[in-house]
Structure 1
Amino acid sequence: MALPLLRYAPTTQNSRVKAFRVGSDEDPKAISMDKSMDREDQNFVIEAAYRQIFFHAFKVDRDSTLESQVRNGQITIRDFIRSLCLSDTFNRSFYNLNSNYKAVRHLVEKLLGRPVHGKSEEITWSAVLMTRGVKGMVDDILSSDEYLNNFGYDTVPYHRNRVVGSREIGETPFNITSPRYDAYYRGILGFPQIVYSGTAKAYPERARQRRGGFPEDYLSWVRNLPAMRVSGGNAGNTGMDYMAKVPYRSVGR
């Protein structure tokens, strides 16, 4: 039996406040299929949908059948986004590698274009994810009034209202605040890894010749200094009884 969607109190979020500002390069860009006039524009919209869900889609992650249906108008962008969220690529490369809370944050950010409204919303959607799986959560989000009012059927979801009036820069993009792999799996995979694929710089033979000034050249001279010479019977302070020289005060004195 599926649990009903729990009620939660939304926190004050930047995405819920109507923006009064002059346009800038950081303003969200609405990419819609209904404005695509030729095949190049359609490819741009499809690429934006892949980037929104997968961040980057390799050739093996693409679905030519779905892309053809989008271009021919057989399915909407909303249906295309749903298919990407339910694909084997999403389950194998993200959902199976993270906790339910991480999956909830990711889906809310990617589909609704905003951060979650606190821990209460995470728990609410986690209950849906636990009882009805990814399909149930994705269907509920895509059928919600918030999604339909902001993106409709033909607009690719985007990060809403990134510019904040009280700060010089906008909100941090979701792909930075919510990386693909959780900390547990990053540790297993050994991230971060620094891989140097270039060639090591080789010093020429003339640079290896000693031309004076090396400390090793003066080592024999330092050893013959008077301060460094020790007599045979007094070879350092290794035999000194340090404990006998520590002042001792007995109780009662």
Structure 2
Amino acid sequence: MAIPLLNYAPSSQNSRVAGFTVSGDSTPRIYTTANLLSGSDLDELIEAAYRQIFFHAFAADREITLESQLRSGNISVRQFVRGLVLSNTYRSSFYDKNSNYRFVEQTVQRVLGRDVYSEKEKIAWSIVVATKGIEGFIDALINSDEYLEAFGDDVLPYQRRRVLPSQRIGEMPFNLKSPRYDAYHRAQLGFPQLIWQNSVRSYVVTDRKPKSGDPSLFLNMARSINASVPANSKPVSAQNLDYERLVPRR
């Protein structure tokens, strides 16, 4: 018997607030197949889908079969998004290198276009991942009422209500707020830890740290010694040297 989805209370977020805004440069562009005029518009939609799900897709990451099915009209945008999230690239990039909680947070951001409401929602969806697998979790998001009301079958998901007219700076994009690896896995992989004071701290494995007696610990002391000129030496002229006594007797 499958465990039902736990109840979690939605929090007040920008994505839940209806707004009447005038479109401008800061307004996210909505990609949909309902008003495509040319093949180039479909190309832009596909590229936007890769940016939304993968953030960046190399040539080896592209799903050629899904692109062909979308171009021929055999699948909708919703099914195309489902295929991208269930691809090997997304699995290896987000699921294999993160915990279930982190995977749920990143997938909700990319598929539903909003942040998770609370830790309770993370736990609820993590149970779905553990019991029904990744495919069951993705199907629950794609077929949810929230997704259908916000995007339907034709609209590509996007970060909803990121920029508000009453704020000078909007919410941070998801790819910057939630990078692919969390702090724990960045430390395990040896990634440099960036500090906003323009200084970089590198991760050093405990076994490689110098112990007492290591010559590297005396490097600074050796550099501080000025061995170029002896302390008590006096300059001697070549005219005052007795070369006959300096030559060894044979």
Q: TM-score, normalised by structure 2?
A: 0.75
Counterpart position of 1:242: none
Q: How does 1:33-112 map to 2 (within 5 A)?
A: 33-112=33-112
Counterpart amino acid of residue 78 in structure 2: R
Runs of 5+ unmatched residues, structure 1: 195-218, 225-253
For 1:155, the equivalent position in structure 2 comes to: 155
What is the identity percentage for the equivalent residue pairs of Structure 1 and Structure 2? 52
> What's the counterpart of residue 245 of structure 2?
none
Q: Aligned-pair distance for 1:55?
A: 0.4
The DSSP-based 3-state class of the residue aligned with 1:35 is coil
Q: Tell me what 1:13 maps to.
A: 13
What does residue 137 of structure 2 align with? Answer: 137
Counterpart residue number, 2:167: 167
Residue 12 of structure 2 aligns with an amino acid whose one-letter code is T
Unaligned runs of 5+ in 2: 195-227, 234-250
| Secondary structure, aligned partner of 2:34 | helix
Aligned-residue offset at 1:165: 4.1
Which amino acid in the other structure matches residue 13 of structure 2? Q
Amino acid of the structure 2 residue aligned with 1:97: K
1:151 CA displacement: 0.6
CA deviation digits over 1:166-221, x for unaligned, max 9?
42111110001100111122112222389xxxxxxxxxxxxxxxxxxxxxxxx99x
The letter for the 1-side match of 2:100 is N
CA RMSD after TM alignment: 2.0
C-alpha distance in 2 between matches for 1:167 and 1:41: 32
Cα distance in 2 for residues equivalent to 1:193 and 1:126: 28
2:181 maps to 1:181:
yes
2:242 alignment counterpart: none
Match of 1:118 in 2: 118
CA offsets 1:58-85 (integer angstroms, 9 cap, x no match): 1001121110110010001111110111
Task: Kindly provide the amino acid, as one letter, of the partner of residue 101 in structure 1.
Answer: Y
Give the CA deviation at 1:30.
0.9
For 2:141, give the aligned amino acid.
I
> What secondary structure is seen at the aligned counterpart in 2 of 1:102?
helix
The 1-side partners of 2:93 and 2:52 are apart by 15
Structure of higher RCO (CA pairs closer than 8 Å, 6+ residues apart):
1
What is the identity, as a one-letter code, of the residue corresponding to 1:119?
Answer: E
Offset of 1:92 from its aligned partner? 1.2
